Protein backbone atom coordinates (compact mmCIF):
# COMPACT_ATOMS: atom_id res chain seq x y z
CA UNK A 1 0.00 0.00 0.00
CA UNK A 2 1.53 3.32 -1.10
CA UNK A 3 1.51 6.43 1.07
CA UNK A 4 -0.01 9.39 -0.78
CA UNK A 5 0.80 13.00 0.06
CA UNK A 6 -0.73 16.26 -1.13
CA UNK A 7 0.80 19.53 0.05
CA UNK A 8 0.52 23.24 -0.68
CA UNK A 9 2.08 26.26 0.97
CA UNK A 10 1.61 30.01 0.72
CA UNK A 11 2.36 33.24 2.52
CA UNK A 12 -0.25 34.69 4.86
CA UNK A 13 0.15 38.37 5.72
CA UNK A 14 -0.10 38.10 9.50
CA UNK A 15 2.19 37.06 12.36
CA UNK A 16 2.57 33.37 13.21
CA UNK A 17 0.66 33.55 16.50
CA UNK A 18 -2.33 35.19 14.79
CA UNK A 19 -2.40 32.75 11.88
CA UNK A 20 -1.93 29.71 14.09
CA UNK A 21 -4.74 31.00 16.32
CA UNK A 22 -7.09 31.19 13.34
CA UNK A 23 -6.21 27.64 12.27
CA UNK A 24 -6.51 26.20 15.81
CA UNK A 25 -9.84 27.88 16.64
CA UNK A 26 -12.32 25.46 15.08
CA UNK A 27 -15.37 27.27 16.49
CA UNK A 28 -14.83 30.93 15.63
CA UNK A 29 -12.20 31.21 12.92
CA UNK A 30 -11.27 28.03 11.00
CA UNK A 31 -14.71 27.47 9.41
CA UNK A 32 -14.69 31.05 8.08
CA UNK A 33 -11.88 30.45 5.57
CA UNK A 34 -12.77 26.94 4.39
CA UNK A 35 -13.40 26.73 0.64
CA UNK A 36 -16.71 25.44 -0.80
CA UNK A 37 -15.24 21.92 -1.07
CA UNK A 38 -15.91 21.67 2.69
CA UNK A 39 -19.48 21.50 3.98
CA UNK A 40 -21.44 20.70 7.15
CA UNK A 41 -18.51 21.66 9.38
CA UNK A 42 -19.32 20.93 13.04
CA UNK A 43 -17.36 20.89 16.28
CA UNK A 44 -18.30 17.81 18.31
CA UNK A 45 -16.12 18.59 21.31
CA UNK A 46 -13.49 21.07 22.38
CA UNK A 47 -13.14 23.88 19.94
CA UNK A 48 -9.62 25.26 20.16
CA UNK A 49 -6.48 23.20 19.60
CA UNK A 50 -5.62 19.77 20.93
CA UNK A 51 -8.51 17.51 21.88
CA UNK A 52 -10.98 19.16 19.52
CA UNK A 53 -13.10 16.78 17.45
CA UNK A 54 -14.68 18.03 14.23
CA UNK A 55 -16.91 16.54 11.57
CA UNK A 56 -17.34 17.75 7.99
CA UNK A 57 -17.90 16.68 4.42
CA UNK A 58 -15.38 17.27 1.69
CA UNK A 59 -16.11 17.11 -2.01
CA UNK A 60 -13.08 16.46 -4.20
CA UNK A 61 -12.96 15.14 -7.73
CA UNK A 62 -16.76 14.80 -7.81
CA UNK A 63 -16.88 12.57 -4.72
CA UNK A 64 -18.11 13.61 -1.29
CA UNK A 65 -16.74 11.95 1.82
CA UNK A 66 -17.49 12.42 5.52
CA UNK A 67 -14.55 13.04 7.87
CA UNK A 68 -14.37 12.96 11.66
CA UNK A 69 -11.12 14.52 12.80
CA UNK A 70 -9.22 14.55 16.08
CA UNK A 71 -7.00 17.62 16.53
CA UNK A 72 -3.53 17.40 18.08
CA UNK A 73 -0.75 19.94 18.49
CA UNK A 74 2.63 18.21 18.17
CA UNK A 75 4.25 21.69 18.30
CA UNK A 76 1.73 24.13 19.82
CA UNK A 77 1.84 27.48 18.08
CA UNK A 78 3.54 25.98 15.01
CA UNK A 79 2.16 22.54 14.02
CA UNK A 80 -1.43 21.31 14.28
CA UNK A 81 -2.70 17.96 12.97
CA UNK A 82 -6.14 16.64 12.15
CA UNK A 83 -6.33 12.82 12.12
CA UNK A 84 -9.33 11.14 10.53
CA UNK A 85 -10.87 8.68 12.97
CA UNK A 86 -12.10 6.45 10.12
CA UNK A 87 -9.04 6.27 7.87
CA UNK A 88 -5.29 6.75 7.76
CA UNK A 89 -5.60 10.40 6.59
CA UNK A 90 -3.69 13.00 8.60
CA UNK A 91 -3.68 16.68 7.65
CA UNK A 92 -0.85 18.80 9.04
CA UNK A 93 -0.87 22.59 9.24
CA UNK A 94 2.60 24.08 9.72
CA UNK A 95 3.03 27.82 10.36
CA UNK A 96 6.52 29.34 10.08
CA UNK A 97 7.61 32.98 10.53
CA UNK A 98 8.65 34.89 7.41
CA UNK A 99 9.57 38.56 7.91
CA UNK A 100 6.52 39.50 9.98
CA UNK A 101 4.24 37.28 7.93
CA UNK A 102 3.68 33.51 7.97
CA UNK A 103 4.46 30.67 5.62
CA UNK A 104 1.61 28.19 5.98
CA UNK A 105 1.82 24.63 4.68
CA UNK A 106 -1.14 22.26 4.51
CA UNK A 107 -0.24 18.63 3.83
CA UNK A 108 -2.39 15.51 3.89
CA UNK A 109 -0.95 12.00 3.90
CA UNK A 110 -2.93 8.77 3.63
CA UNK A 111 -2.53 5.11 2.71
CA UNK A 112 -3.63 4.74 -0.88
CA UNK A 113 -5.73 2.08 -2.50
CA UNK A 114 -4.14 -0.77 -4.41
CA UNK A 115 -4.62 -1.86 -8.01
CA UNK A 116 -6.00 0.32 -10.77
CA UNK A 117 -8.00 2.38 -8.27
CA UNK A 118 -4.80 3.15 -6.41
CA UNK A 119 -3.10 4.18 -9.65
CA UNK A 120 -5.81 6.72 -10.43
CA UNK A 121 -5.85 7.90 -6.82
CA UNK A 122 -2.10 8.57 -6.93
CA UNK A 123 -2.46 10.36 -10.26
CA UNK A 124 -5.39 12.65 -9.46
CA UNK A 125 -6.11 12.98 -5.73
CA UNK A 126 -2.97 14.95 -4.80
CA UNK A 127 -3.57 17.48 -7.59
CA UNK A 128 -7.21 17.98 -6.58
CA UNK A 129 -6.28 18.38 -2.91
CA UNK A 130 -3.46 20.84 -3.73
CA UNK A 131 -6.00 22.99 -5.57
CA UNK A 132 -8.42 22.92 -2.62
CA UNK A 133 -5.61 23.76 -0.19
CA UNK A 134 -4.38 26.63 -2.40
CA UNK A 135 -7.91 28.05 -2.26
CA UNK A 136 -7.99 27.62 1.52
CA UNK A 137 -4.68 29.42 1.91
CA UNK A 138 -5.88 32.33 -0.24
CA UNK A 139 -9.00 32.55 1.91
CA UNK A 140 -6.91 32.39 5.10
CA UNK A 141 -4.74 35.27 3.85
CA UNK A 142 -7.83 37.34 2.97
CA UNK A 143 -9.37 36.51 6.36
CA UNK A 144 -6.20 37.59 8.18
CA UNK A 145 -6.04 40.85 6.21
CA UNK A 146 -9.72 41.57 6.85
CA UNK A 147 -9.37 40.99 10.59
CA UNK A 148 -6.19 43.05 10.82
CA UNK A 149 -8.00 46.13 9.55
CA UNK A 150 -11.00 45.72 11.86
Cα–Cα dist 136/104, whole Å = 11
Cα–Cα dist 57/65, whole Å = 6
Answer yes or no: is pLDDT of 52 > 90: yes
Average pLDDT value for residue range 24-28:
97
Cα–Cα dist 75/20, whole Å = 11
Instruction: Phi first, then psi: give them for residue 38, nearest 5 degrees.
Output: -100, 135
pTM of the model: 0.91
pLDDT band at 146 (very low <50, low <70, confident <90, very high): very high
Each residue's pLDDT tens digit, 57-111: 999 878 899 999 999 999 999 999 999 999 888 999 999 999 989 999 999 887 7
**Residues with Cβ within 8 Å of residue 52, at least 6 apart in sequence:** 26, 43, 45, 46, 70, 71
Enter the CATH code of domain 3-149.
3.30.530.20
Instruction: List the beta bridge partners of residue 95.
Output: 104
Instruction: Phi first, then psi: give them for residue 22, nearest 5 degrees.
Output: -65, -45
Amino acid sequence: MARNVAATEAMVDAPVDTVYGYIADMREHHPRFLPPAFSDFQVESGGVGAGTVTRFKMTAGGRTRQYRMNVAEPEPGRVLTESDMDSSAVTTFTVSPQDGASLVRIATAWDGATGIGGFFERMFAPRVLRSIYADELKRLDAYAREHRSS
